[in-house]
Chains A and B, each alone.
Chain A
Amino acid sequence: MSLTPYDWNQSIQTRMEYIEERLRDGSPVVGISIPEGVLLVTIRRAQRKIYEIYDRLVFGGIGNQSDIETMRNAAIDFAHQEGFQRSPDDVTAHRLIGSVLSPALKRAFGDPFTAPLVFRGIFAEVADRQEQDLFYALGFDGEFRSEGRYSVVAGSFEAENRMIDLLHGAGERASDRDSALRLALEAWATGRLHSRRAAPTISKHDEDEEVDTRTVDQVLREEIAEGTLEVGLLDRGTPRESKFRLLRPDELQSIMAEYR
Protein backbone atom coordinates (compact mmCIF):
# COMPACT_ATOMS: atom_id res chain seq x y z
CA MET A 1 0.00 0.00 0.00
CA SER A 2 1.32 3.41 -0.87
CA LEU A 3 0.45 6.64 0.85
CA THR A 4 -0.01 9.98 -0.84
CA PRO A 5 0.57 13.31 0.96
CA TYR A 6 -3.18 13.66 0.99
CA ASP A 7 -3.58 10.44 2.96
CA TRP A 8 -1.02 11.64 5.46
CA ASN A 9 -2.78 14.97 5.92
CA GLN A 10 -6.09 13.24 6.23
CA SER A 11 -4.78 10.80 8.79
CA ILE A 12 -3.21 13.57 10.88
CA GLN A 13 -6.46 15.50 10.80
CA THR A 14 -8.51 12.49 11.81
CA ARG A 15 -6.12 11.61 14.59
CA MET A 16 -6.10 15.14 15.91
CA GLU A 17 -9.87 15.28 16.05
CA TYR A 18 -10.09 11.88 17.64
CA ILE A 19 -7.55 12.75 20.34
CA GLU A 20 -8.91 16.20 21.08
CA GLU A 21 -12.41 14.87 21.45
CA ARG A 22 -11.20 12.25 23.90
CA LEU A 23 -9.17 14.77 25.90
CA ARG A 24 -11.99 17.26 26.20
CA ASP A 25 -13.46 15.77 29.36
CA GLY A 26 -10.14 15.42 31.13
CA SER A 27 -9.89 17.02 34.54
CA PRO A 28 -7.38 19.91 34.24
CA VAL A 29 -4.08 19.93 36.12
CA VAL A 30 -2.62 23.18 37.44
CA GLY A 31 1.04 23.63 38.35
CA ILE A 32 2.12 26.55 40.48
CA SER A 33 5.46 27.58 41.96
CA ILE A 34 5.51 28.88 45.54
CA PRO A 35 8.36 29.66 47.96
CA GLU A 36 7.86 26.24 49.63
CA GLY A 37 8.27 24.37 46.33
CA VAL A 38 6.17 23.30 43.39
CA LEU A 39 2.50 22.30 43.58
CA LEU A 40 0.48 20.26 41.11
CA VAL A 41 -3.25 20.48 41.76
CA THR A 42 -6.24 18.63 40.32
CA ILE A 43 -9.58 17.17 41.29
CA ARG A 44 -9.87 13.57 40.30
CA ARG A 45 -12.65 11.04 40.08
CA ALA A 46 -11.15 7.57 40.02
CA GLN A 47 -7.49 7.30 39.11
CA ARG A 48 -4.64 9.06 40.80
CA LYS A 49 -3.30 11.77 38.48
CA ILE A 50 -0.17 13.25 40.03
CA TYR A 51 3.02 11.22 40.15
CA GLU A 52 6.62 11.55 41.24
CA ILE A 53 9.07 11.03 38.39
CA TYR A 54 12.43 11.72 39.97
CA ASP A 55 14.04 13.61 42.86
CA ARG A 56 13.06 17.01 41.48
CA LEU A 57 10.47 16.06 38.90
CA VAL A 58 6.74 15.62 39.20
CA PHE A 59 4.14 14.85 36.58
CA GLY A 60 0.40 15.22 36.12
CA GLY A 61 -1.51 14.37 32.98
CA ILE A 62 -4.84 13.91 31.30
CA GLY A 63 -5.85 11.40 28.69
CA ASN A 64 -6.17 7.69 28.28
CA GLN A 65 -5.05 6.03 31.49
CA SER A 66 -2.80 3.53 29.77
CA ASP A 67 -1.19 6.30 27.69
CA ILE A 68 -0.56 8.31 30.84
CA GLU A 69 1.10 5.21 32.28
CA THR A 70 3.21 4.80 29.15
CA MET A 71 4.47 8.37 29.45
CA ARG A 72 4.98 8.11 33.20
CA ASN A 73 6.99 4.91 32.86
CA ALA A 74 9.09 6.23 29.98
CA ALA A 75 9.89 9.31 32.05
CA ILE A 76 10.77 7.28 35.16
CA ASP A 77 12.94 4.86 33.16
CA PHE A 78 14.93 7.63 31.52
CA ALA A 79 15.32 9.63 34.73
CA HIS A 80 16.60 6.68 36.79
CA GLN A 81 18.89 5.32 34.13
CA GLU A 82 20.40 8.74 33.56
CA GLY A 83 20.49 9.64 37.26
CA PHE A 84 22.37 6.44 38.08
CA GLN A 85 24.73 6.31 35.14
CA ARG A 86 25.48 10.04 35.18
CA SER A 87 24.19 12.08 38.12
CA PRO A 88 20.84 13.16 39.56
CA ASP A 89 21.82 16.72 38.62
CA ASP A 90 21.78 15.73 34.95
CA VAL A 91 18.16 14.65 35.10
CA THR A 92 16.35 17.82 34.06
CA ALA A 93 12.87 18.39 32.70
CA HIS A 94 14.45 20.01 29.67
CA ARG A 95 16.40 16.86 28.75
CA LEU A 96 13.54 14.53 29.62
CA ILE A 97 11.01 16.36 27.46
CA GLY A 98 13.27 17.61 24.69
CA SER A 99 15.32 14.48 24.04
CA VAL A 100 13.06 11.64 25.10
CA LEU A 101 9.35 12.22 25.47
CA SER A 102 8.63 14.84 22.83
CA PRO A 103 10.30 12.98 19.93
CA ALA A 104 8.58 9.74 20.96
CA LEU A 105 5.17 11.41 21.05
CA LYS A 106 5.79 13.07 17.71
CA ARG A 107 6.75 9.74 16.15
CA ALA A 108 3.67 7.98 17.48
CA PHE A 109 1.42 10.82 16.38
CA GLY A 110 2.85 11.10 12.86
CA ASP A 111 2.99 7.39 12.09
CA PRO A 112 -0.34 6.30 10.58
CA PHE A 113 0.34 2.68 11.48
CA THR A 114 0.63 3.11 15.24
CA ALA A 115 -1.96 4.20 17.73
CA PRO A 116 -1.37 7.81 18.78
CA LEU A 117 -1.20 8.61 22.47
CA VAL A 118 -4.19 10.32 23.99
CA PHE A 119 -2.22 12.48 26.33
CA ARG A 120 -1.46 15.94 27.58
CA GLY A 121 0.73 16.50 30.63
CA ILE A 122 2.68 18.86 32.83
CA PHE A 123 6.18 18.10 34.05
CA ALA A 124 7.40 20.35 36.85
CA GLU A 125 10.93 20.73 38.15
CA VAL A 126 11.75 22.25 41.51
CA ALA A 127 15.01 24.20 41.78
CA ASP A 128 16.98 25.52 44.75
CA ARG A 129 15.61 29.00 44.10
CA GLN A 130 12.02 29.74 43.20
CA GLU A 131 12.90 31.87 40.14
CA GLN A 132 14.44 28.77 38.59
CA ASP A 133 11.44 26.46 38.94
CA LEU A 134 10.33 25.16 35.56
CA PHE A 135 7.16 23.76 34.06
CA TYR A 136 6.79 21.95 30.76
CA ALA A 137 3.39 21.37 29.21
CA LEU A 138 3.62 18.55 26.69
CA GLY A 139 1.02 17.70 24.06
CA PHE A 140 0.08 14.49 22.21
CA ASP A 141 1.87 15.70 19.03
CA GLY A 142 5.15 16.25 20.85
CA GLU A 143 4.71 20.00 20.97
CA PHE A 144 5.76 21.52 24.29
CA ARG A 145 6.06 24.87 25.95
CA SER A 146 8.04 25.80 29.01
CA GLU A 147 6.85 28.21 31.64
CA GLY A 148 8.29 29.65 34.79
CA ARG A 149 5.72 30.37 37.49
CA TYR A 150 2.79 28.20 36.55
CA SER A 151 1.49 25.88 33.90
CA VAL A 152 -1.73 24.11 33.01
CA VAL A 153 -3.11 21.27 30.96
CA ALA A 154 -6.81 20.98 30.24
CA GLY A 155 -9.27 19.44 27.81
CA SER A 156 -8.93 22.13 25.15
CA PHE A 157 -6.68 24.98 24.11
CA GLU A 158 -9.44 27.46 24.80
CA ALA A 159 -9.70 26.19 28.37
CA GLU A 160 -5.92 26.30 28.80
CA ASN A 161 -5.81 29.88 27.55
CA ARG A 162 -8.50 30.98 30.00
CA MET A 163 -6.63 29.32 32.84
CA ILE A 164 -3.33 30.92 31.85
CA ASP A 165 -5.03 34.32 31.62
CA LEU A 166 -6.42 33.91 35.10
CA LEU A 167 -3.07 32.81 36.55
CA HIS A 168 -1.26 35.57 34.69
CA GLY A 169 -3.59 38.22 36.08
CA ALA A 170 -3.26 36.88 39.61
CA GLY A 171 0.17 38.44 40.05
CA GLU A 172 1.63 37.66 43.45
CA ARG A 173 -1.46 35.95 44.84
CA ALA A 174 0.34 32.64 45.21
CA SER A 175 2.63 33.73 48.01
CA ASP A 176 1.98 30.77 50.29
CA ARG A 177 0.55 27.27 50.02
CA ASP A 178 -3.07 28.05 50.86
CA SER A 179 -3.40 31.12 48.63
CA ALA A 180 -1.72 29.16 45.83
CA LEU A 181 -4.21 26.32 46.33
CA ARG A 182 -7.15 28.74 46.15
CA LEU A 183 -5.78 30.26 42.95
CA ALA A 184 -5.05 26.84 41.45
CA LEU A 185 -8.59 25.65 42.21
CA GLU A 186 -10.05 28.75 40.63
CA ALA A 187 -7.95 28.09 37.53
CA TRP A 188 -8.94 24.44 37.59
CA ALA A 189 -12.65 25.30 37.66
CA THR A 190 -12.19 27.85 34.87
CA GLY A 191 -10.57 25.17 32.75
CA ARG A 192 -13.30 22.71 33.58
CA LEU A 193 -15.98 25.19 32.53
CA HIS A 194 -14.37 26.04 29.23
CA SER A 195 -13.30 22.59 28.06
CA ARG A 196 -16.72 21.90 26.60
CA ARG A 197 -17.24 25.40 25.25
CA ALA A 198 -14.13 25.20 23.18
CA ALA A 199 -15.17 23.51 19.97
CA PRO A 200 -15.56 26.21 17.32
CA THR A 201 -18.97 24.94 16.21
CA ILE A 202 -20.47 25.42 19.62
CA SER A 203 -22.16 28.75 20.11
CA LYS A 204 -23.89 29.86 23.25
CA HIS A 205 -27.19 30.06 21.39
CA ASP A 206 -27.08 26.54 20.14
CA GLU A 207 -29.73 24.78 22.19
CA ASP A 208 -28.56 21.29 21.35
CA GLU A 209 -25.05 21.71 22.71
CA GLU A 210 -24.61 21.46 26.40
CA VAL A 211 -23.05 24.63 27.69
CA ASP A 212 -21.80 24.76 31.20
CA THR A 213 -23.32 27.84 32.78
CA ARG A 214 -22.26 27.19 36.33
CA THR A 215 -20.01 29.67 38.09
CA VAL A 216 -16.48 28.86 39.19
CA ASP A 217 -17.69 28.61 42.76
CA GLN A 218 -20.51 26.23 41.90
CA VAL A 219 -18.16 24.03 39.91
CA LEU A 220 -15.75 23.77 42.79
CA ARG A 221 -18.47 23.03 45.32
CA GLU A 222 -19.89 20.23 43.20
CA GLU A 223 -16.61 18.72 42.01
CA ILE A 224 -14.91 18.76 45.39
CA ALA A 225 -17.96 17.09 46.91
CA GLU A 226 -18.02 14.37 44.25
CA GLY A 227 -14.32 13.95 43.56
CA THR A 228 -11.05 14.04 45.43
CA LEU A 229 -8.79 17.06 45.68
CA GLU A 230 -5.30 15.82 44.83
CA VAL A 231 -2.25 17.98 45.50
CA GLY A 232 1.35 16.91 44.93
CA LEU A 233 4.15 18.94 46.49
CA LEU A 234 7.83 18.94 45.60
CA ASP A 235 9.25 20.38 48.79
CA ARG A 236 12.21 22.66 48.02
CA GLY A 237 13.78 22.68 51.48
CA THR A 238 13.10 19.23 52.97
CA PRO A 239 16.05 17.33 54.43
CA ARG A 240 14.28 14.07 53.47
CA GLU A 241 15.52 11.84 50.68
CA SER A 242 12.31 12.31 48.71
CA LYS A 243 11.08 15.82 48.09
CA PHE A 244 7.76 14.65 46.68
CA ARG A 245 4.66 13.90 48.66
CA LEU A 246 0.92 14.04 48.17
CA LEU A 247 -0.63 16.42 50.70
CA ARG A 248 -2.54 14.56 53.39
CA PRO A 249 -6.32 15.07 53.82
CA ASP A 250 -5.75 16.97 57.08
CA GLU A 251 -3.53 19.45 55.22
CA LEU A 252 -6.31 20.07 52.70
CA GLN A 253 -9.08 20.24 55.27
CA SER A 254 -9.23 24.01 55.61
CA ILE A 255 -9.20 24.64 51.85
CA MET A 256 -11.90 22.06 51.24
CA ALA A 257 -14.03 23.56 54.02
CA GLU A 258 -14.19 26.81 52.03
CA TYR A 259 -16.10 25.03 49.29
CA ARG A 260 -18.63 23.26 51.41
Chain B
Amino acid sequence: MPRPGDFRELVGGFPGESGRVVDAPVSRHDASPELDTHGTTVIAVKYRDGVLNVGDRRATANMAVMFDRAEKVLPLDDYTLIAISGSFARALEIVRYLKHSFKYYARRELQEMSLDGKVSEVSRAIAGNLPMALQGIGAFIPIVSAYDPRTNEGRIFFYDGMGARFETSEFGAAGSGSERIRGAFDYIIRTHKPFREMSLPEALRECLILLDIAADLDAATGGFAKVLPVAKGVNREGIFEVSAEEMRAIVAEVPPREDFGMAFPAL
Protein backbone atom coordinates (compact mmCIF):
# COMPACT_ATOMS: atom_id res chain seq x y z
CA MET B 1 0.00 0.00 0.00
CA PRO B 2 1.68 3.24 -1.05
CA ARG B 3 1.83 6.01 1.52
CA PRO B 4 0.63 9.25 -0.07
CA GLY B 5 3.04 12.12 0.30
CA ASP B 6 5.94 9.89 1.42
CA PHE B 7 9.11 11.31 -0.07
CA ARG B 8 11.23 8.31 0.92
CA GLU B 9 9.09 6.11 -1.29
CA LEU B 10 9.45 8.56 -4.17
CA VAL B 11 13.25 8.61 -4.13
CA GLY B 12 13.72 5.00 -3.01
CA GLY B 13 15.29 5.45 0.38
CA PHE B 14 16.90 7.78 2.86
CA PRO B 15 20.33 9.15 2.00
CA GLY B 16 22.75 6.37 2.94
CA GLU B 17 20.14 3.65 2.43
CA SER B 18 19.57 1.53 -0.66
CA GLY B 19 22.97 0.06 -1.37
CA ARG B 20 24.76 3.34 -1.59
CA VAL B 21 26.81 2.28 1.43
CA VAL B 22 30.53 1.76 0.88
CA ASP B 23 31.03 -1.87 -0.15
CA ALA B 24 34.30 -2.67 1.56
CA PRO B 25 33.85 -3.55 5.22
CA VAL B 26 35.46 -0.68 7.06
CA SER B 27 35.86 -1.06 10.76
CA ARG B 28 35.55 1.92 12.98
CA HIS B 29 39.28 2.07 13.50
CA ASP B 30 40.21 1.83 9.83
CA ALA B 31 37.98 4.67 8.70
CA SER B 32 40.15 7.53 7.63
CA PRO B 33 39.48 10.61 9.70
CA GLU B 34 40.54 12.74 6.72
CA LEU B 35 37.59 11.44 4.73
CA ASP B 36 34.89 12.86 6.90
CA THR B 37 34.42 16.48 7.88
CA HIS B 38 33.49 16.73 11.52
CA GLY B 39 33.67 18.83 14.62
CA THR B 40 31.52 21.70 15.76
CA THR B 41 29.45 23.18 18.52
CA VAL B 42 25.83 24.08 17.94
CA ILE B 43 23.55 25.41 20.65
CA ALA B 44 19.77 25.77 20.91
CA VAL B 45 18.06 27.60 23.78
CA LYS B 46 14.48 28.63 24.41
CA TYR B 47 14.26 32.37 24.88
CA ARG B 48 11.21 34.48 25.70
CA ASP B 49 9.57 34.40 22.23
CA GLY B 50 10.78 31.14 20.74
CA VAL B 51 14.01 29.26 20.15
CA LEU B 52 17.47 30.64 19.36
CA ASN B 53 20.15 28.59 17.59
CA VAL B 54 23.81 29.54 17.50
CA GLY B 55 26.53 27.61 15.71
CA ASP B 56 30.20 28.17 14.96
CA ARG B 57 31.37 28.18 11.36
CA ARG B 58 34.32 25.77 11.47
CA ALA B 59 34.34 22.49 9.54
CA THR B 60 37.29 20.20 10.24
CA ALA B 61 38.63 16.97 8.80
CA ASN B 62 41.04 15.33 11.18
CA MET B 63 43.50 18.10 12.05
CA ALA B 64 42.68 20.25 9.03
CA VAL B 65 40.25 23.12 9.01
CA MET B 66 38.38 22.40 5.80
CA PHE B 67 36.26 25.51 5.77
CA ASP B 68 35.68 28.37 8.19
CA ARG B 69 32.37 29.61 6.81
CA ALA B 70 30.23 26.49 7.15
CA GLU B 71 26.51 27.01 7.77
CA LYS B 72 25.38 24.63 10.48
CA VAL B 73 22.01 26.14 11.37
CA LEU B 74 19.63 25.59 8.49
CA PRO B 75 15.91 26.11 7.95
CA LEU B 76 13.92 22.96 7.19
CA ASP B 77 10.82 25.03 6.52
CA ASP B 78 9.36 28.36 7.64
CA TYR B 79 8.91 27.23 11.27
CA THR B 80 11.58 24.56 11.74
CA LEU B 81 15.34 24.91 12.18
CA ILE B 82 17.96 22.19 12.23
CA ALA B 83 21.41 22.60 13.78
CA ILE B 84 23.82 19.95 12.57
CA SER B 85 26.85 18.24 14.06
CA GLY B 86 28.91 15.28 12.95
CA SER B 87 29.57 14.37 9.36
CA PHE B 88 29.02 17.50 7.33
CA ALA B 89 28.51 15.62 4.07
CA ARG B 90 25.82 13.31 5.44
CA ALA B 91 24.20 16.11 7.39
CA LEU B 92 23.80 18.35 4.36
CA GLU B 93 22.44 15.48 2.32
CA ILE B 94 19.95 14.57 5.02
CA VAL B 95 18.92 18.21 5.46
CA ARG B 96 18.22 18.38 1.75
CA TYR B 97 16.26 15.17 2.07
CA LEU B 98 14.22 16.47 5.00
CA LYS B 99 13.44 19.80 3.35
CA HIS B 100 12.16 18.01 0.30
CA SER B 101 10.30 15.48 2.38
CA PHE B 102 8.35 18.19 4.29
CA LYS B 103 7.64 20.23 1.16
CA TYR B 104 6.63 17.16 -0.79
CA TYR B 105 4.18 16.09 1.86
CA ALA B 106 2.66 19.57 2.21
CA ARG B 107 2.27 20.06 -1.53
CA ARG B 108 0.95 16.59 -2.27
CA GLU B 109 -1.40 16.35 0.68
CA LEU B 110 -2.36 20.06 0.79
CA GLN B 111 -1.67 20.25 4.50
CA GLU B 112 1.48 20.81 6.56
CA MET B 113 3.15 17.75 8.04
CA SER B 114 2.56 17.82 11.81
CA LEU B 115 5.46 18.80 14.07
CA ASP B 116 5.45 15.29 15.49
CA GLY B 117 5.55 13.88 11.97
CA LYS B 118 8.52 16.10 11.16
CA VAL B 119 10.62 15.20 14.18
CA SER B 120 9.86 11.49 13.58
CA GLU B 121 11.01 11.86 9.99
CA VAL B 122 14.32 13.20 11.35
CA SER B 123 14.56 10.09 13.57
CA ARG B 124 13.99 7.81 10.61
CA ALA B 125 16.58 9.65 8.52
CA ILE B 126 19.18 9.21 11.28
CA ALA B 127 18.30 5.54 11.63
CA GLY B 128 18.52 5.18 7.84
CA ASN B 129 22.05 6.58 8.01
CA LEU B 130 23.05 3.97 10.61
CA PRO B 131 24.74 1.50 8.22
CA MET B 132 27.22 4.21 7.27
CA ALA B 133 27.64 5.46 10.80
CA LEU B 134 28.46 1.91 11.94
CA GLN B 135 31.22 1.75 9.35
CA GLY B 136 32.83 4.65 11.08
CA ILE B 137 31.94 7.45 8.74
CA GLY B 138 28.94 9.63 8.19
CA ALA B 139 27.44 9.71 11.67
CA PHE B 140 25.54 12.89 12.30
CA ILE B 141 23.47 14.25 15.16
CA PRO B 142 21.12 17.20 14.82
CA ILE B 143 19.09 19.44 17.08
CA VAL B 144 15.67 20.39 15.75
CA SER B 145 14.01 23.60 16.89
CA ALA B 146 10.49 24.56 15.98
CA TYR B 147 7.74 26.95 16.87
CA ASP B 148 4.65 25.00 17.80
CA PRO B 149 1.57 26.98 16.75
CA ARG B 150 -0.67 24.70 18.81
CA THR B 151 0.99 25.39 22.14
CA ASN B 152 2.38 28.82 21.18
CA GLU B 153 5.91 28.02 22.29
CA GLY B 154 9.30 27.10 20.97
CA ARG B 155 10.31 23.44 21.19
CA ILE B 156 13.71 21.78 21.03
CA PHE B 157 14.38 18.14 20.11
CA PHE B 158 17.72 16.39 20.23
CA TYR B 159 18.74 12.95 19.03
CA ASP B 160 21.22 10.18 19.61
CA GLY B 161 23.17 8.39 16.89
CA MET B 162 20.48 5.76 16.40
CA GLY B 163 17.66 8.24 16.01
CA ALA B 164 16.15 8.26 19.48
CA ARG B 165 14.38 11.56 19.97
CA PHE B 166 14.33 13.56 23.18
CA GLU B 167 12.56 16.78 23.91
CA THR B 168 14.32 19.27 26.14
CA SER B 169 12.68 21.96 28.19
CA GLU B 170 15.46 24.59 28.21
CA PHE B 171 18.44 23.98 25.97
CA GLY B 172 20.24 21.53 23.72
CA ALA B 173 23.78 21.33 22.37
CA ALA B 174 25.52 19.00 19.96
CA GLY B 175 28.96 18.54 18.45
CA SER B 176 32.46 17.86 19.71
CA GLY B 177 32.49 21.03 21.83
CA SER B 178 29.07 20.53 23.36
CA GLU B 179 30.10 18.12 26.12
CA ARG B 180 32.67 20.63 27.36
CA ILE B 181 30.02 23.27 28.04
CA ARG B 182 27.05 21.18 29.03
CA GLY B 183 27.37 21.97 32.72
CA ALA B 184 27.66 25.67 31.99
CA PHE B 185 24.07 25.80 30.77
CA ASP B 186 22.87 24.56 34.13
CA TYR B 187 25.14 27.00 35.90
CA ILE B 188 23.60 29.91 33.97
CA ILE B 189 20.07 28.70 34.65
CA ARG B 190 20.69 28.23 38.37
CA THR B 191 22.75 31.31 39.10
CA HIS B 192 21.52 33.81 36.53
CA LYS B 193 18.09 32.98 35.15
CA PRO B 194 16.38 30.45 32.89
CA PHE B 195 16.92 31.07 29.18
CA ARG B 196 13.17 31.12 28.62
CA GLU B 197 12.95 34.35 30.62
CA MET B 198 15.66 36.07 28.61
CA SER B 199 15.16 38.55 25.78
CA LEU B 200 16.75 37.73 22.44
CA PRO B 201 19.91 39.87 23.00
CA GLU B 202 20.35 38.45 26.51
CA ALA B 203 20.04 34.86 25.30
CA LEU B 204 22.33 35.56 22.36
CA ARG B 205 24.97 37.02 24.65
CA GLU B 206 24.93 33.90 26.87
CA CYS B 207 25.13 31.63 23.83
CA LEU B 208 28.09 33.53 22.41
CA ILE B 209 29.97 33.22 25.69
CA LEU B 210 29.18 29.50 25.78
CA LEU B 211 30.41 29.15 22.22
CA ASP B 212 33.59 31.03 23.08
CA ILE B 213 34.24 28.66 25.98
CA ALA B 214 33.60 25.67 23.71
CA ALA B 215 36.06 27.11 21.19
CA ASP B 216 38.67 27.44 23.92
CA LEU B 217 38.27 23.82 25.00
CA ASP B 218 37.63 22.12 21.65
CA ALA B 219 39.99 22.53 18.70
CA ALA B 220 37.25 21.66 16.20
CA THR B 221 35.05 24.54 17.31
CA GLY B 222 35.62 28.02 15.91
CA GLY B 223 34.55 30.77 18.27
CA PHE B 224 33.71 34.29 17.21
CA ALA B 225 37.20 35.81 17.18
CA LYS B 226 37.87 35.24 13.48
CA VAL B 227 34.54 34.53 11.82
CA LEU B 228 31.18 35.52 13.27
CA PRO B 229 29.00 32.55 14.26
CA VAL B 230 25.60 32.11 12.68
CA ALA B 231 22.52 32.78 14.82
CA LYS B 232 19.02 31.98 13.68
CA GLY B 233 15.82 31.76 15.61
CA VAL B 234 12.21 30.80 15.22
CA ASN B 235 9.26 32.54 16.81
CA ARG B 236 5.57 33.13 16.11
CA GLU B 237 6.40 34.95 12.86
CA GLY B 238 8.66 32.19 11.60
CA ILE B 239 12.39 31.92 11.08
CA PHE B 240 14.69 34.93 11.41
CA GLU B 241 18.42 35.42 11.18
CA VAL B 242 20.40 37.70 13.48
CA SER B 243 22.20 40.21 11.27
CA ALA B 244 25.98 40.63 11.29
CA GLU B 245 25.66 44.13 12.81
CA GLU B 246 23.48 42.92 15.67
CA MET B 247 25.89 40.08 16.25
CA ARG B 248 28.92 42.39 16.23
CA ALA B 249 27.25 44.69 18.76
CA ILE B 250 26.68 41.78 21.12
CA VAL B 251 30.12 40.30 20.55
CA ALA B 252 31.55 43.71 21.56
CA GLU B 253 29.62 43.45 24.86
CA VAL B 254 31.08 40.08 25.75
CA PRO B 255 33.73 40.68 28.41
CA PRO B 256 37.21 39.78 27.14
CA ARG B 257 38.94 36.89 28.79
CA GLU B 258 41.47 38.21 31.28
CA ASP B 259 44.88 36.63 31.14
CA PHE B 260 45.56 35.77 34.75
CA GLY B 261 48.94 34.34 33.86
CA MET B 262 49.91 30.74 34.18
CA ALA B 263 50.88 29.19 37.46
CA PHE B 264 53.75 26.80 36.92
CA PRO B 265 54.57 24.38 39.67
CA ALA B 266 57.80 25.39 41.32
CA LEU B 267 60.54 22.94 40.56
Binding site for B on A (CB under 8 A): 48, 51-55, 73, 76-77, 80-81, 83-85, 240-242
Do residues B238 and A80 form an inter-chain contact, with CB atoms below 8 A? no
Q: Which residues of chain B in 1-34 are interfacial with respect to chain A, using CB atoms and an 8 Å cutoff? A: 7, 10-11
Least distance between B108 CB and chain A CB atoms (Å):
6
Binding site for A on B (CB under 8 A): 7, 10-11, 75, 77-78, 96-97, 99-100, 103-104, 107-108, 110, 238-239
Least distance between B17 CB and chain A CB atoms (Å):
14
* Residue of B7, B78, B97 touching A242 (CB-CB under 8 A): B78
The residues of B that contact A77 with a CB separation of less than 8 Å are 10
* Residue of B96, B97, B99, B107 touching A53 (CB-CB under 8 A): B107
| Secondary structure of the B contact surface, majority rule | helix
Do residues A241 and B78 form an inter-chain contact, with CB atoms below 8 A? yes
The residues of B that contact A84 with a CB separation of less than 8 Å are 7, 11, 96-97, 100
The residues of A that contact B108 with a CB separation of less than 8 Å are 73, 76
Given contacts A80-B10, A84-B96, contact A240 B104 (CB under 8 A): no
Q: With the chains together, A54 CA to B110 CA distance in Å?
A: 13
Do residues A80 and B104 form an inter-chain contact, with CB atoms below 8 A? yes
Nearest first, the 4 closest Cβ-Cβ pairs linking A and B are A84-B100, A80-B104, A241-B78, A76-B107
The residues of A that contact B238 with a CB separation of less than 8 Å are 240
Least distance between B89 CB and chain A CB atoms (Å):
16
Of the listed residues A53, A77, A80, A85, the one surrounded by the most CB atoms of chain B closer than 10 A to its CB is A80
The residues of A that contact B96 with a CB separation of less than 8 Å are 84
Q: With the chains together, A154 CA to B77 CA distance in Å?
A: 35
Do residues A51 and B78 form an inter-chain contact, with CB atoms below 8 A? no
Do residues A81 and B107 form an inter-chain contact, with CB atoms below 8 A? no
The residues of B that contact A55 with a CB separation of less than 8 Å are 103
Do residues A81 and B103 form an inter-chain contact, with CB atoms below 8 A? no
The residues of A that contact B75 with a CB separation of less than 8 Å are 241
Name the CB-closest residue of B to A85.
B11
Q: With the chains together, A137 CA to B10 CA distance in Å?
A: 27
Least distance between A77 CB and chain B CB atoms (Å):
6
